Amino acid sequence: MSAAAAAVAREERRLTELDSAIGDADHGGNLRRGFTAVLAALDEEKPAAPGAVLALAGRRLISTVGGASGPLYGTLLRRTGKALGDTAGVDVLRLRDALREGVDAVARLGSAARGDKTMLDALYPAVEALDGSAGSFRAARTAAEEGAAATVPMRARRGRASYLGERSVGHQDPGATSAALLFATLAETADT
């Protein structure tokens, strides 16, 4: 979570620039504010188990981020954390299974599917790459980055960008970009 907060702070401007093209220019700020609040909450409550860390982080994102990405990323972390349970040791395959549940919960909450030009276009390929590579976060990172790049020619069907219709084509989705950033952080942190 600290690495994620640092990455989001570092990339805040780029995420906001992408959101200014097809949204309301707040995605970088939304996530920076959210992850700053996550770090404060973790510092205060100091949950021990990885699942509890993710669940608390998710709740905090939901309560501090007003934009769509708050409830969506919040649900991703909360559901992933819940799936991990209170076990102390988490290996890559357990995390993969939990993440799959988290991503499915995001799709349900946002009534979105692959190809709608959202964060799911990076999240689904990442989870599938974890399946196909016996849990390599490097493979997940590459798949998420390719998934984010593949949103450029898509027409948005969910979220604010969908109001633009055809004019959303030709821009990379901000949420898919931040999802790839989070998987890059996971790959660097887990080093596997």
* Residues near Mg ion (CB under 5 A): 19, 23-24, 26-27, 67
Distance, CA of 50 to CA of 81 (rounded, Å): 7
Binding residues for ligand ADP (CB under 6 A):
19, 23-24, 26-27, 30, 67-69, 72, 110, 112, 118-120, 158-160, 173-176
The residue (of 34 and 50) whose beta carbon lies closer to ligand ADP is 34
The residue (of 52 and 179) whose beta carbon lies closer to ligand ADP is 179
Beta carbons of 180 and 148 less than 8 angstroms apart: yes
Distance, CA of 151 to CA of 118 (rounded, Å): 8
Distance, CA of 63 to CA of 73 (rounded, Å): 11
Fill in the DSSP letter of residue 156.
Answer: P
72 makes contact, choosing from Mg ion, ligand ADP, none, with CB < 5 to 8 Å by partner type, with ligand ADP
The residue (of 99 and 119) whose beta carbon lies closer to Mg ion is 119
C-beta of 100: minimal distance to ligand ADP in Å? 16
The residue (of 11 and 135) whose beta carbon lies closer to ligand ADP is 11
- Please list, in sequence order, all residues whose beta carbon lies within 8 angstroms of the beta carbon of residue 10, skipping any fewer than 6 positions away: none
**Residue linked to tokens 């995001």:** 106
Beta carbons of 141 and 187 less than 8 angstroms apart: yes
175 makes contact, choosing from ligand ADP, Mg ion, none, with CB < 5 to 8 Å by partner type, with ligand ADP
- Please list, in sequence order, all residues whose beta carbon lies within 8 angstroms of the beta carbon of residue 3, skipping any fewer than 6 positions away: 185, 188, 189
* Element housing 30 (H / E): helix 27-45
C-beta of 92: minimal distance to Mg ion in Å? 32
C-beta of 135: minimal distance to Mg ion in Å? 32
Indicate the residue whose CB is closest to ligand ADP: 175
The residue (of 59 and 160) whose beta carbon lies closer to Mg ion is 160
54 makes contact, choosing from Mg ion, ligand ADP, none, with CB < 5 to 8 Å by partner type, with none
